[in-house]
Amino acid sequence: MDSETILIIGANGQIGSVLTEALRAKYPKQTVLATDIREPESPSGPFTLLNVLDKDALEELVSSHRVSQIYHLAAILSAKGELDPLRTWDINMQSLFNVLEVARTKAVKKVFFPSSIAVFGPEANKKNTDQFEALTPRTVYGISKVAGENWCQYYFDRYGLDVRSVRYPGIIGHQSMPGGGTTDYAVEIFHEAIKNQSYSCFLNRDTRLPMMFMEDAIRATISIMDAPAEQVKIRSSYNLAGMSFTPEELAEEIQKHIPDFKISYAPDHREQIARSWPESINDQSARTDWNWQEKYDLARLTETMIRELKAKILV
């Protein structure tokens, strides 16, 4: 195996922090360089402060470390993005342009760009939403992800840049907290169930969304990056699925472990965003092309979240 030097942008985030650890378990620690706009609480390896909007700083880092792979995880998510749409567009798009241009001009071998179920809009079939369903997003985050996917395809076609991408569903993990998304309830609920035995949910009881356990999301990310290039046939972004559930179904599963747990519903502006997204995703292309297969269903996710969080919170 050629030696790799990996740059992670947004390494303190919900996915970035867990991905950084996973890559440091797979590659020599010194070769996995974490970056973020904030210092990490407890760095587990090399870290550099980086604002990815500063293209010169990114270029300097990629050159001086001879970076061979970039994972670009920095973005403003769906709910927070709506607070300042134009700034969200600027940040999400300019950061991607900087990554694509630096990767192209500095001969970076591979780039990972996370897309999202937010690329779909209310016109798409809600159930088993197809890979090639029309993309008509209603959030600025979703619009930026659709545009981002198309730019990845463009850099692949025009410059041969090896960009790879998946459309993450809501990601649920015990290691980190999400920030600014519409699927965040599915992480918050576990923390509140353990601390207070109650949770007020910002989505309606029957709002079904596609979700995935963090370990599966990390495995999908590393699998698509490890796949031989010819197996990565879709160069915009792959649909990816783990499970789908409603807040009520999740609460019932939690009650199997915490019988006193109570949920109430106070839907806010995030409900409208959730209603514009698919309920479930068809990810046959990822399964066929690079052997994607999830390991966690709702029961296993719930059991693992409660066990891990109890150990962390109730010490």
Looking at the Cβ atoms of 13 and 170, the one nearer to ligand SER is 170
Among 120, 156, 168, 238, binds ligand SER (CB under 6 A): 168
- Give me the DSSP letters along 84-129: SHHHHHHHHHHHHHHHHHHHHHTT-SEEEEEEEGGG--TTS-SSSB
Between 137 and 306, CB nearer to ligand SER: 137
Candidates 23-31, 51-59, 110-118, 289-297 — which segment interacts with ligand SER by CB under 6 A? 110-118
Subset of residues 134 to 163 that bind ligand SER, contact rule: CB under 6 A: 141
- Taking the complex as a whole, the smallest distance from the CB of residue 292 to ligand SER amounts, in Å, to 18
Is residue 118 near ligand SER by the rule CB under 6 A?
Answer: yes
The binder of ligand SER chosen from 182, 236, 239, 280 (CB under 6 A): 182
Write out the two tokens for 173.
């993990």
Q: Out of 27, 71, 141, 168, which one is annotated catalytic?
A: 141
How many residues sit close enough to ligand SER to count as binding (CB under 6 A)?
Answer: 11
Q: Is 116 in the site for ligand SER (CB under 6 A)?
A: yes
Render the chain in DSSP notation, one character per residue.
-----EEEESTTSHHHHHHHHHHHHHS-GGGEEEEESS--SS-SS-EEE--TT-HHHHHHHHHHTT--EEEE-----HHHHTTSHHHHHHHHHHHHHHHHHHHHHTT-SEEEEEEEGGG--TTS-SSSB-TTS-----SHHHHHHHHHHHHHHHHHHHH--EEEEEEE-EEE-SS----S-SSTHHHHHHHHHHHHSEEEESS-TT--EEEEEHHHHHHHHHHHHHS-GGG---SS-EE---EEE-HHHHHHHHHTT-TT-EEEE---HHHHHHHTS-SSB--HHHHHHH-------HHHHHHHHHHHHHHHH--
- For residue 154, indicate whether it is catalytic: no
Residue ranges in 83-102 that form contacts with ligand SER under rule CB under 6 A: none
Select the span of 37-45, 94-102, 115-123, 231-239 touching ligand SER (CB under 6 A).
115-123
**Should residue 170 be labelled a site residue for ligand SER when binding is judged by CB under 6 A?**
yes
With CB atoms as reference, the residue minimizing the distance to ligand SER is: 181
* Stretch of residues binding ligand SER (CB under 6 A), selected from 22-30, 49-57, 178-186, 233-241: 178-186
Q: How far is the CB of 46 from ligand SER (least distance, A)?
A: 28
Q: Near ligand SER by CB under 6 A, which window of 57-65, 97-105, 181-189, 289-297?
A: 181-189
Q: Would you say 101 or 192 has its CB closer to ligand SER?
A: 192
Q: Which residues bind ligand SER (CB under 6 A)?
A: 77-78, 116-118, 141, 168, 170, 181-183
Active-site positions? Answer: 141
